[in-house]
Amino acid sequence: MTRVLVTGFEPFGGDRVNASQEAVARIDVEDLRARGVEVIRETLPVTFVGGPDALEAAIGQHLPDVVVCVGEAGGRGEVTPELSAVNDQVARIADNDGRQPAGALDDGPAVLTATLDPAQLVTAIRDAGIPARVSEDAGRFVCNAVFRASLTRFNGPADFIHVPAHREVGIAVTGAETDDAAPVVAELTFDDLGRALTAALGSLAG
């Protein structure tokens, strides 16, 4: 059994919904267990300090074999596993602690590459009929900070997946923290995003 810690984020920026939290909640954990993948789900705070610290605490508590963190991107219509995390932080808006930090995240190199192959995840998601591509830019907001933490505070395969910032009603008011682009009305539903994550995690069996 492969134990996978999967994290989503709480709402932020005055929005009441975070598509990553909704998508993670819809992962078919029973189907994955039958295929040899045990899924542990956690929700992280959208804060530059608390998000990475909560991830580290969850890793220490659950001792996963693999870590997959999930966040939302308002300028994207596809599911996008990330290739790399940069050593930088930029806050267009305040995080949920009211902070807008700037500068390096840690004393490490400028760029760290995912230790779980994003192309493998893309293939599995596409095979499930969901549009996906590898992204080379995880932004500079809390998503990137948590992605960076998954690579510096966990000694195992890890990656970050951005999902479209879908809303059942209206358009997300957040999400530009990842892409400097106009908000996209995402055609993928929360159920679609849950299927995408289920497919991605299923590729980790064995």
Strands (E), the chain: 2-9, 37-44, 66-73, 80-81, 84-86, 89-90, 102-103, 111-113, 158-164
CA 23 to CA 25: how far, in whole Å? 5
Q: Dihedral of the CA atoms 19, 204, 140, 150 (nearest 10)?
A: 120
Name the residues annotated as catalytic. 143
Q: Please, are residues 162 and 76 in contact by the beta-carbon 8 Å criterion? A: yes
